[in-house]
Amino acid sequence: MDLIAVADHVKGLTDAFATEAGGEGAGGLTINFFWILIAAANFIVFALIAYFFGFSRLKGNLDARRARIEEGLRDADAARQEREQTTEQRRQTLVEARREANDIVGRAQRAADEAREREVTATRSEIERLREQAAADIEAERRRALADVRGQVADLALAAAGRVVGETMTSERERRLVGEFLGQVESGPAAASGAAGQPG
């Protein structure tokens, strides 16, 4: 049984129903089931066409838009994670650079301290050497001056003794005696000062 036959059968029934209704009272409200079924079938066909051609495309568009939005969210999340990683790498680089700078400054400070300590030690050693050399030079000069004075005093003593005795005194024995005398004279004041420093 096909649709055309069903539609003809329904049309026949509706016509018969309309004829009976029309026979009972003309001018009343009549219901035509055939046209109601045709309108319903038209609505269903139109709804199916609209669904397949319109809603399916709309669903595809919505799915594509959802996919684009999700991709954008994923890209934004990836960009945020990359930004956080870059920030962390930059912070670690800054920390490493500060640590290296502190190490360089510390090494430079230690090198400067060591150089200053070496210079101070070298300067003290040089000062000590110069002081010892100056003391040695002073002692040598004192001895030389003392020897000169001793020689001059010996010559003067010999000359004075020669005038007293009336002859020139130039022998080695006489000079030795004068030297011994001068040694006793030099040790005498030192002994006297030492004795004076002791309590009586």
Domains in the chain: boundaries = 36-186
* CB 181, CB 157: distance < 8 Å: yes
Virtual CA dihedral for 184, 187, 188, 191, nearest 10 degrees? Answer: -150
Does the global pTM surpass 0.85? no
* CB 32, CB 14: distance < 8 Å: yes
The 3-state DSSP class for residue 31 equals coil
* CB 34, CB 14: distance < 8 Å: yes
* CB 28, CB 21: distance < 8 Å: yes
In sequence order, what DSSP letters do the residues of 122-178 get, joined into one string?
HHHHHHHHHHHHHHHHHHHHHHHHHHHHHHHHHHHHHHHHHHHHTS---SHHHHHHH
* CA atoms of 162 and 174, how far apart (whole Å): 11
* CA atoms of 123 and 142, how far apart (whole Å): 28
Q: How much of the chain is in helix, strand and coil states, percent to nearest 5? A: 90, 0, 10
Digit-by-digit pLDDT tens for the chain (200 residues) are 465 666 677 677 666 665 655 544 444 577 788 888 989 999 999 888 888 877 777 777 888 889 999 999 999 999 999 999 999 999 999 999 999 999 999 999 999 999 999 999 999 999 999 999 999 999 998 888 888 877 777 777 767 666 666 555 566 766 676 677 667 666 655 444 444 444 44
The predicted structure's pLDDT at residue 152: 78
Tokens of 12: 């026949």
* CA atoms of 107 and 101, how far apart (whole Å): 10
